[in-house]
Amino acid sequence: MNRDQIEGKAKELKGRIKQGAGDVLDDEKLQDEGVADEAEGEVQKGFGNVRHKVGKAIEEVGEKIKR
């Protein structure tokens, strides 16, 4: 797992918590912030997933070249 995947997951969780707090407190601004944080986290996590897959592919090519 890389840094973007971890940070993305954390932002998603933070967003969900903010949304829940906004629901409980009836705070629309907090809910909106939560939605934005969750979306940002999903994007960052997705970027991290792509980086991870590219890194794995490069490693596999390197291993095949060594043979």
Flag whether pLDDT at 60 surpasses 80.
yes
Flag whether pLDDT at 55 surpasses 80.
yes
CA angle 12-48-41, nearest 5°? 15
Share of the chain above pLDDT 70, in %: 100
Flag whether pLDDT at 1 surpasses 80.
yes
pLDDT of residue 67: 75
pLDDT of residue 66: 84
Quote the pTM value: 0.83
Q: How confident is the model at residue 7 (pLDDT cuts 50, 70, 90)?
A: very high
